[in-house]
């Protein structure tokens, strides 16, 4: 297997592109492609200030690396969730982000959930769900809120996340199995800004997970290998496994599925079904962030409840 | 496992409905549900003359049985494709249809492709594809043409096919993986009549394959067990296998996938993307059946070619 560009030994073969590349050309190819996607989906321009949500995993750190390499002004945001799982998951993750930023002289903001909100995510979720079920919904909702607030408060033009094609295809697969029109109408490389909501972009949405992993490896980016200890048995993992089997049998399945969905959306599928009424936003009276239902937002309601219940336990 | 209705030993447990039934109640339940679907999707009424396309398989014979049991006036149409596959596939299939019809005093029409068109399907497909590839596209196109012509010429109000939920979910899965909007806009329990095209209905579209198989067994309907010898490796089989794995892990996956798709379509998804221009129909100058492109229809063009090439070989 030889590099298509220089005939040296290739380190990766991307079957869906019929393309093999050596280490040098691959670590150029990923930023080149990222720039192509940034322009194709009109994600942001040279003048924009970008906040990259970094988890300590390969995708978000590789994204931060690529954006910096491409010359964009990109700061990092790490959210400390307080997840241990017997492996010090959050501590490890934070450390990888800090080492990455320090080595490159980049600006990393750290938001610690327990310090700022009074409880780490697993404890908060336990108190809301009374000890049953996974903390993923509380975690996701809290992270979305915190990321948006950090981007808005910091005056950033855009929030970038490291979602890769495997993530996007799995989300799309779930939304499709349930034909969730609300989600099908919104998924994509860009979620436009609205009053109080920063523009969100996913510059890696067309890269397979193995491609971002290979990039991180070749660029010597240290990252947390473990999945979140709470993700075991999650639906997203089940969707990924199903898609992985299909990808094995028919290489390119995920990319084709995602790109043909974007094309269908571009042709106006779901345009008629997005309910504009349901999407009207109101500012939360407590935090000021936009929320769909009038009254306090889900974030404020949830964390009020967490603090009340924690106080009862003390 | 006991019958929910009479507490006798159940013969089938339908996990997605949390329903177990004995033989007697199950063979009542299938027609009752079929009648419910016929009404729910406004498929046809008591006064309509129905042509059931029967292949000799469990689904179509079970459908003919159920429609007759429900008191509908339903004739059968068997299309002899001339497929042998070392097992006399078409001969067997025809024989099961004839035995079924004779035992019940029902009217079966037989259309023999080789007699009427000059060559059996596998030979025709070979001559069109020059020996490469599967005959499935020529077969499907020819069957659709013949079924419609038989229904229109015979003055039937509706053409019923035995497609079950496994068939429909697999088709939907394929259309979704490719986001084929044209197909997504059309799939459903009913395809309305248009000039020259008979109304098409699928009264079994909400029954799992195992449910129609159990019904055929309990009603002592003899049917051809073998799949079409040409179906091996077909995409539809691959989609079915993938969905079967998902159904095993999460019972009800197929039914939920299909029903939520119908709900999404009912809410107007794809309404904007169905291109009315592409769907304008013209009568074929040779056979008179409607076709989307001006000029001879695909059926006439294909079979003209088959006869020309066969003549060269003789």
Residue-wise pLDDT tens digits, B206-252: 999 999 999 999 999 999 998 899 888 788 999 999 999 999 999 99
Of A177, A264, A268, the CB nearest to B179: A264
Tell me if B52 sits within 8 A of B67, measured CB to CB: yes
Q: Which residues pair with A214 in a beta bridge?
A: none
Taking an 8 Å cut-off on Cβ atoms, the answer to whether A242 and B245 are in contact is yes
Residue B168's pLDDT is: 98
pLDDT confidence band for A313 (50 / 70 / 90): low
Residue B273, chain A, CB below 8 Å: the answer is: yes
Q: How far apart are CA B210 and CA B30, in angstroms?
A: 12
Residues A61-117 pLDDT 10s: 999 999 999 999 999 999 999 999 889 999 999 999 999 999 999 999 999 999 999
- Over residues B284-311, the pLDDT tens digits come to 999 999 998 889 999 999 999 998 887 7
* Neighbour count for residue B36 (Cβ, 10 Å): 12
**Six token digits for residue B82:** 């001339």
CATH 3.40.50.2300, domain B43-282, yes or no: no
DSSP state of A47: T
Segment among A40-44, A54-58, A126-130, A175-179 with least mean pLDDT: A126-130
Select the residue of B178, B260, B268 nearest A260 (Cβ to Cβ).
B178
- Chain A and chain B share a number of CB contacts under 8 A equal to 63
Average pLDDT of the residues in B140-154: 97
Lowest mean pLDDT among A210-224, A232-246, A272-286, B226-240: A272-286
pLDDT of residue A276: 54
Does A246 lie at the interface with B, CB-CB under 8 angstroms?
yes
- Best of A264, A266, A267 to disrupt the B interface by mutation (most B CBs within 10 Å)? A264
State how far the Cα of A183 lies from the Cα of A181, in Å rounded to an integer: 5
Is the confidence at residue B278, as pLDDT, over 60?
no
Residues facing residue B200 across a β-bridge: B159, B191
Q: How far apart are CA A243 and CA A120, in angstroms?
A: 33
Contact of B11 with B34, CB cutoff 8 Å: no
Q: Report chain A residues whose CB lies below 8 A from the CB of B257.
A: 177-179
Q: How close B264 comes to chain A (CA, Å)? A: 6
Which residues of chain A have a CB within 8 Å of the CB of B245?
Answer: 242, 245
Contact between chains at A179 and B269 (C-beta distance less than 8 A): yes
pLDDT over 70, % of chain B: 97
User: Which residue among A242, A269, A272 sits closest to B181, beta carbon to beta carbon?
Assistant: A269
What CATH number does domain A42-278 carry, 3.40.50.620, 3.40.228.10, 3.75.10.10, 3.30.420.40? 3.40.50.620
Q: Using a CB-CB distance cutoff of 8 angstroms, which residues of chain B are in contact with residue A180?
A: 260
SS3 state of residue A64:
helix
How sure is the predictor about A175, in pLDDT bands with cuts at 50, 70 and 90? Answer: very high
In the predicted model, is pLDDT for residue B13 greater than 90? yes
A106-110, A225-229, B113-117, B187-191: which range is least confident on average? A225-229
**Is the Cβ pair B238, A249 closer than 8 Å?**
yes
> What is the chain B residue with the closest CA to A261?
B179
Among B262, B260, B212, which residue's Cα sits nearest to residue B27? B212
Confidence category of residue A184, pLDDT binned at 50, 70, 90: very high
The share of chain A scoring above pLDDT 70, in percent, equals 97
Do A181 and B264 lie within an 8 Å CB cutoff? Answer: yes
Residue B4 scores a pLDDT above 70: yes
- The chain B residue lying nearest A184, using CA atoms, is B269
- When mean pLDDT is compared across B87-91, B109-113, B215-219, B233-237, the lowest value belongs to B233-237
Judged by a CB distance cut-off of 8 A, whether residue A269 touches chain B is yes
Q: What angle do CA B148, B149, B153 make, to 5 degrees?
A: 120
Residue A232 is predicted with a pLDDT of 81
Q: Give the pLDDT confidence score for residue B294 in this predicted structure.
A: 86
pLDDT at B277: 52
Average pLDDT, integer, range B93-109: 97
* Cβ-based contacts of A273 with chain B (< 8 Å): 264, 267-269
Closest chain A C-alpha to B159 CA, distance in angstroms: 29
Among B176, B242, B268, whose Cβ lies nearest the Cβ of A176? B176
Residues of B in contact with A263 (CB under 8 A): 179
- Name A248's Cβ contacts closer than 8 Å, sequence gap at least 6: none
**B245-274 confidence digits (pLDDT tens):** 999 999 999 999 999 999 999 998 888 766
Q: What is the pLDDT of residue A293?
A: 83
Q: Are strands B158-160 and A290-291 parallel, antiparallel or unpaired?
A: unpaired
Going by pLDDT thresholds of 50, 70 and 90, the confidence category of residue A129 is confident
Paired sense of beta strands A49-54 and A158-160, if any: parallel
> Do residues A145 and A299 make contact, with C-beta atoms less than 8 angstroms apart?
yes
Highest mean pLDDT among A270-274, B35-39, B267-271, B287-291: B35-39
Does the pLDDT value for residue B276 go beyond 70?
Answer: no
Distance, in angstroms, between B254 CA and closest chain A CA? 9
* Closest Cα in chain A, distance from residue B174 (Å): 10
What are the domain boundaries of chain B? 43-282
Q: Mean pLDDT across the stretch B190-196?
A: 94
**pLDDT on residue B266:** 92
A156 touches chain B (CB under 8 A): no
pLDDT at position B101 over 80: yes
pLDDT interval class at A314 (50, 70, 90): low
Please report residues of B whose CB lies closer than 8 A to that of A270. 269
Residues of chain B neighbouring A276 (CB-CB closer than 8 A) = none
CA distance A33 to chain B (A): 23
Q: What is the dihedral of CA A238, A241, A246, A251, to 10 degrees?
A: 140
Mean pLDDT of A17-33: 97
**What pLDDT shows up at residue A269?**
87
The predicted model gives A48-53 an average pLDDT of 98
Q: How many CA atoms lie within 13 A of A22 on its CB side?
A: 10
pTM given for the model = 0.92
Chain B residues with CB under 8 Å of A256 CB are 177-178
Mean pLDDT across A180-200: 94
Contact A204, A34 (CB under 8 A): yes
CA distances from B42 to A102, A179, B29, B49, B191 (A): 67, 23, 19, 15, 11
The alpha-carbon radius of gyration of chain B (Å, integer) is 20
Read off the pLDDT of residues A302-312 as tens digits, 9 standing for 90 and up: 999 998 887 76
pLDDT at B314 over 70: no
Is the pLDDT reported for residue A3 higher than 80?
yes
Is B178 part of the contact surface with chain A (CB cutoff 8 Å)? yes
Tell how far CA B12 is from the center of its chain.
24
- Pick from B176, B261, B269: CB nearest A270: B269
Q: Which two tokens stand for residue B180?
A: 């084929």
pLDDT the model gives residue B64? 98
CA distance B185 to chain A (A): 10
Average pLDDT over residues A23-49: 98
Please state, rounded to an integer, the average pLDDT across all residues of chain A.
Answer: 93
* B35 vs B271, higher pLDDT: B35
Q: In the prediction, which pLDDT does A130 show? A: 79
Any chain B CB within 8 A of the CB of A271? yes
Across the interface, whether the CB atoms of A181 and B269 are under 8 A apart is answered yes
The nearest CA of chain A is from the CA of B135 a distance in Å of: 22
| Length of chain B counted residue by residue | 314
Contacts of B263 in chain A (CB under 8 A): 179
């Amino acid at each position: 297997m030889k590099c298509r560009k220089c005939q040296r030994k290739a380190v990766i073969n991307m079957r869906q592109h019929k393309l093999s590349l050596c280490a040098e050309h691959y670590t150029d190819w990923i930023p080149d492609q990222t720039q192509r996607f940034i322009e194709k989906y009109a994600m942001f321009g040279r003048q924009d200030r970008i906040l990259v949500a970094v988890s300590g995993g390969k995708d978000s750190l590789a994204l931060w690396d690529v954006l910096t390499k491409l010359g964009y002004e990109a700061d990092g945001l790490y959210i400390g969730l307080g997840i241990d799982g017997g492996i010090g998951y959050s501590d490890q993750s934070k450390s990888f982000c800090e080492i990455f930023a320090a080595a490159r002289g980049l600006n990393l903001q750290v938001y610690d959930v327990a310090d700022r909100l009074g409880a780490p995510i697993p404890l908060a979720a336990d108190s809301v769900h009374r000890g049953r079920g996974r903390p993923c919904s509380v975690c996701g909702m809290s992270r979305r809120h915190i990321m948006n607030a950090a981007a808005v408060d910091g005056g950033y033009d855009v929030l970038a996340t490291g979602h890769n094609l495997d993530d996007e295809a799995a989300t799309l697969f779930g939304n499709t199995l349930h034909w969730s029109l609300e989600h099908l109408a919104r998924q994509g490389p860009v979620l436009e800004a609205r009053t109080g909501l920063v523009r969100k972009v996913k510059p890696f949405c067309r890269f397979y997970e193995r491609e971002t992993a290979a990039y991180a490896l070749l660029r010597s980016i240290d990252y947390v290998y473990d999945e979140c200890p709470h993700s075991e048995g999650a639906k997203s993992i089940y969707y990924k496994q199903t898609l992985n089997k299909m990808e094995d049998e028919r290489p390119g399945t995920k990319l084709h599925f995602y790109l043909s969905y974007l094309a269908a959306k571009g042709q106006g599928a779901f345009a008629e079904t997005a309910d504009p009424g349901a999407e009207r936003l109101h500012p939360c009276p407590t935090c000021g962030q936009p929320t769909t239902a009038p009254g306090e937002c889900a974030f404020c309601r949830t964390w009020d409840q967490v603090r009340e219940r924690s106080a009862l336990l003390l």
